[in-house]
Structure 1
C-alpha cells in the first residue's frame, strides 16, 4: 500500500497562499493515487460549508472549489470538532462527504504506519 498523506490546513482567506498550497498538494496526492486525508482547521474550517470554497480567490491558482471536489472524490475531508464548534458549524451544515472529527482521530491518522503529515 502507498504511503498515506495527512494534510492539516489552518489558513483560509487570512493566508490564501498557504491555504491554496494545502488544497493543491491534497488534490495532487489524489491524482497520483496516494491515500489523502485533508483536515480543515482554524480559518480553513469555513471551506467545509457549501459555497464557501467558491468565494476563495487567489490569482493564478486552481479554484479552491475544484481542488476540494478532487479531494472529496477520492480522499477524506475532515472538519476539526473544536473548530466547527467555535464557528457554530454542525454536521447538517457541511458539504456532503465532509466528516467532523477531533484530535484523537487526527493523532490516529498521523501516527499510522507509513503516514506523512503536513501542516499548512
Structure 2
C-alpha cells in the first residue's frame, strides 16, 4: 500500500495552472491507489461548493472532474477559515466534502509516512 498523500491547493481561478496541477496530482494519486486528502484553501475553497462552475485550462482535465474523482476515492476538505471568509457553510458543499481546520490538516500532514504537497 502506498503512503498517505495530503495535497493542499491554495488557489483557484486566480491561478488556474497551479490549482490544476495540485488537483491533477491528487486525482492521479487516488487512481494509483493512494490514500489522498485534498485540502481546498484560499480561492480553491470555491471548488468544493455545489453548483459553482470550476474553471477550464487548455490541455487539462476540468477542475470539477478532478475534485469529483478525489471525493469519490479520497477525502476533500475546505479550510474552516477560508470557508468562513467566503460565507461557505457545510450546506453549500459538494457531496462528500467537509469543512475542517488547521489542527486536522496538521494531524494528517504529520501522520506516519504521510507526504504533504502544497500548490
TM category (shorter chain) comes to over 0.9
Aligned to 1:43: 43
Aligned to 1:17: 17
- SS of residue matched to 2:87: coil
User: 1: distance between equivalents of 2:75 and 2:11?
Assistant: 18
Calculate the aligned-residue CA RMSD, in Å.
Answer: 0.9
Unmatched runs of 5 consecutive residues or more in structure 1: none
Runs of 4+ in 1 over 6 A off after TM superposition: none
Instruction: Identify if the C-alpha distance between structure 1 residues 15 and 110 changes in structure 2 by more than 3 Å, giving closer, same or farther.
Output: same
Task: Render the CA deviation track for 1:50-101: whole Å, top value 9, x for unaligned.
Answer: 132x440111111111111110110000000000000000111111100100
Aligned to 2:67: 68
User: 1: distance between equivalents of 2:61 and 2:78?
Assistant: 22
User: 1: distance between equivalents of 2:98 and 2:91?
Assistant: 10
- SS of residue matched to 1:20: helix
Aligned residues: 119
Q: Which moved more, 1:57-66 or 1:80-89?
A: 57-66
- SS of residue matched to 1:92: helix
